Amino acid sequence: MPIYFYTAHEEPHGCFSNFSRHGIDLDGAWWPTVEHYFQAQKFAGTPYANKIRIAFTPKQAADLGRSRQHPLRPDWEQVKDEIMLKAVRRKFELHTQLRKLLLATGAEELIENAPSDYYWGCGSDGSGQNKLGQLLMRIRMELSSLPSLT
Ligand SMILES: Nc1nc(O)c(N)c(N[C@@H]2O[C@H](COP(=O)(O)O)[C@@H](O)[C@H]2O)n1
């Protein structure tokens, strides 16, 4: 049976959301959530990226990242999938309990049940691309072949 997740506080799989409060160290800095990192990379190398890094909540980070008052980096569409992969992979490398939970999902399909997101999630009608779920399944496969991390 597919496993759906969306809001970060929802048990047992809400921690698969990028909004879950599991920080990561990447590019020489600490990021309170994957969402902080992902949104900041839209403006990498500018002071606005650090403003997003220190946002109080992942929701605030997302709002800042979605604001178009600051110019989005021109290659964003080309690099966003790789950036997301790097950040989510780091999250599951770093947090042992999350890694165990991800591996415990076995071969089940993972679906981000985000009603308004047809790219990272499945959208309100299930027709979305579910890129985040696909990426989690890819990371699950990578981790399962690394006995030192299982
Ligand atoms: N919790 C939550 N609320 C939303 O409104 C969402 N769209 C998502 N999905 C996550 O949003 C991030 C990408 O957002 P943008 O591409 O910058 O709009 C990504 O982390 C999705 O997993 N989640």
The three state secondary structure string of the chain is CCEEECCCCCCCCHHHCCCCCCCEEECCEEECCHHHHHHHHHHCCCHHHHHHHCCCCHHHHHHHHHCCCCCCCCCHHHHHHHHHHHHHHHHHHHCHHHHHHHHCCCCCCEEECCCCCCCCCCCCCCCCCCHHHHHHHHHHHHHHCCHHHC
Q: What is the ipTM of this complex?
A: 0.93
Single-letter amino acid, residue 11: E
The pTM assigned to this predicted structure is: 0.96
Pocket test for ligand 1, best of 39, 73, 117 (most atoms within 8 A of CB): 117
34-85, pLDDT tens digit by residue? 999 999 999 999 999 999 999 999 999 999 999 999 999 999 999 999 999 9
Q: How far apart, in whole angstroms, are the C-alpha atoms of residue 116 and residue 124?
A: 6
In short, whether 132's Cβ falls inside 6 Å of ligand 1 is yes
